[in-house]
Structures are given as structure tokens and as C-alpha cells.
Amino acid sequence: MAKIEEILALEQIENDIFRGIATETLLPRTFGGQVAGQALVSAVRTVDPGFGVHSLHGYFLRPGNPTMQIVYLVDRIRDGRSFCTRRVTAVQDGKAIFTMSASFHGEDRGIEHQDTMPRVPMPEDLPDPDLVDDQTVRWARIEWAEWEFRFVPPEQMDTSRRWAAQQQVWFRSREALPDDPVFHVCTLAYMSDMTLLGSASVGHPDEKTQGASLDHAMWFMRPFRADDWLLYDQTSPSAGFGRALTQGRIFDRNGNMVAAVVQEGLTRYLRDW
């Protein structure tokens, strides 16, 4: 499997045109987090360093071919005094497979507040995933060997009857990453697609469904490092008609809410072809 530094090291082939590598995967299509992370890198490389990304909104249009490189076309939609906007289209074989808008903001001062991190065990207090006899955990360990996961057992989660489905996962890079804060933001865009759609299946453990990310929105609130433990507090408030809505809040181990994610994914029953 390619390292995250290789995945996010895009080649610039023309003004505002970039190319990302193909990576080995067990998935039948390109991992959505890879496309989102590479698209964000391409947008970042067209923006003045004084602006930091604060949000992205993407749509997965076609399944990517994991054996092919992806070309990213960047449109400079706006360059203002406080905000910049970029639109990115990911292309394979002449067809758009993903489109994303990303917004960048210069530093400002304003009101501050955040939700409290749920009461959960620290990652060191949870079992090593190599010792957990769970198919989902084993698969994640193989597909994303560069990342460490600790799933919070249901009996140890801070739950509410109002939530239809919930899942909590600690995760981090196994190896130290570069110090560049922008690299960690793009890395989290990559990692944010991991395990999130699985929260929709928590209440349906015996159902066989086809899963795929349909759209993905993300907001970055506070600095963090992707090689330090992050808690992904995930819920799925609704599922129906073959789709599921999922959402996640990401906290660092000190309780700072660093990002928020909302995603709709395909969760239709497997078709008997």
C-alpha cells in the first residue's frame, strides 16, 4: 500500500492541472478518501499560503478505476480579501468521477464555543485491533495498514436513545507525518471517508448491502495532527430508499473539536444479478 506522503504528492502537469498516483487497494473502486484528499491538495496548491481551508463539499459521480491515475482540473472561482474558492474536477478516461468545491479563509477573530467530547475510553485502554475477532476491524487493518484504529465497544459508548445508530473510532497514522499543518488537513480529508458509512450498518448487522460514498462535506475548525489520536464520533440519523445519511465529529484526545463531516452513502440491498 502507498504511504500517505506518496498519495498526496501530486504532479503538476500544467497551470491548475495536477495528477495523482494510482494506489493498490482491496476495493473494487478507488477509495473515496483518496480522491477527496488529492482534490484538496490540488486546490491548496493554487491558493496563497495566507489562506487556510475551512470547508469542502464533494460529489462522487462515477466509481474510480484504482489502477489508473487521476487528473485534477482546478477552477479559480474567487480570490477575495477574506475568502478564496476553488472548484476541482477529478477526471479519469475523459470522464468526471468527482467534483469538489473548497473554501479558504484568512485568519479572523470571533466568538468561540464547541460541543463537549463524548465520554469514551482512551485508545490505550482499548484492545489492540490485531487481537479483535471482528471482520470489519480485520478488513480495515489490511486495507489501511498505515493507520491504527481502535473501535469503542458499544457497551462503553456514551449513547442516547434519540440516536438511531452510532459508532466511535479512535484513529491515527502509525508513522510520524510532516509538520506542515496543511498536510495534516489534506490527510484528514483522506481519512474522513474511512469507517464513516459503516455507522449506518450498526443497527443492521445481518443485512448485506452495497456501500459507496455519494457526497461528502467537511469543515475544519481547529489545528490538529493526524499522527496523534483522533476520536471519530459517528452517527447515522436516517437511512432509507437505498441511501444513508451519516455524520461525524472529530476530536483530538484533549477534547478539542477539530473537524465535522457529513456524508450520504449508498446502502441498498445487494442485487441478485
> Hey, which residues are catalytic here?
193, 213, 263
Picking from 74, 76, 68, 75, the residue whose alpha carbon sits closest to that of residue 94 is: 68
HSE (CB half, 13 Å, CA atoms) of 88? 31
Element (H, E) at 40: helix 32-44
How would you classify residue 255: left for phi > 0, otherwise alpha for psi between -120 and 50, otherwise beta? Answer: left
Bridge pairing between strands 95-106 and 257-269: unpaired
C-alpha–C-alpha distance, residues 153 and 168, integer Å: 8
- How many angstroms separate the most distant Cα atoms in the chain? 56
- For residue 147, the surrounding DSSP H or E stretch is strand 147-151
Alpha carbons within 13 angstroms on the beta-carbon side of residue 28 total 5
d(C-alpha 213, C-alpha 253), whole Å: 27
